[in-house]
């Protein structure tokens, strides 16, 4: 049987390995792009799976001052759509990484 020091060393190495994998996964989330849309595609928001907004595209037909309130609502809806897709993409990537770990149900990484 291994002595306590060897067991602690192995646990520490495993924890460091998992921490490095988590850091790599988090960095990868910023490379995955999603697009949220509203108004039938009149407003589009590009974002990363980490939630960073990359760009906003507005159809020219929306650039009417009398439609300002509708445009604001469409932008908010597109951002929310992009955020939901970013969350889904992030969850999918993280579940790939944690697939082999014996985590209790409902336990989410990163902490």
- What are the mean pLDDT values of the chain's consecutive 10-residue runs (111 residues total)? 77 82 79 90 89 88 87 90 88 75 61 46
- Residue 37: what pLDDT? 92
The residue length of the chain stands at 111
Calpha distance 68→94 (Å, rounded) = 39
- Residue 106: what pLDDT? 63
Angle ∠(13,24,81) on CA atoms, nearest 5: 140
Q: In the chain, where does DSSP find H-type helix?
A: 4-29, 68-98
Domain 29-93 has CATH 3.40.50.300: no
């Amino acid at each position: 049987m291994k002595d306590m020091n060897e067991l602690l060393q192995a646990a520490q190495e495993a924890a460091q390995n998992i921490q490095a994998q988590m850091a790599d996964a988090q960095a990868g989330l910023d490379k995955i792009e999603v697009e949220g849309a509203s108004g039938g595609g009149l407003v589009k928001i590009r974002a990363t799976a980490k939630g960073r907004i990359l760009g906003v595209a507005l159809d020219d037909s929306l650039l009417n001052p009398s439609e300002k309130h509708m445009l604001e609502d469409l932008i908010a809806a597109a951002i929310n759509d992009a955020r939901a897709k970013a969350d889904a993409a992030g969850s999918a990537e993280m579940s790939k990484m944690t697939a082999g770990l014996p985590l209790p149900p409902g336990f989410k990484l990163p902490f």
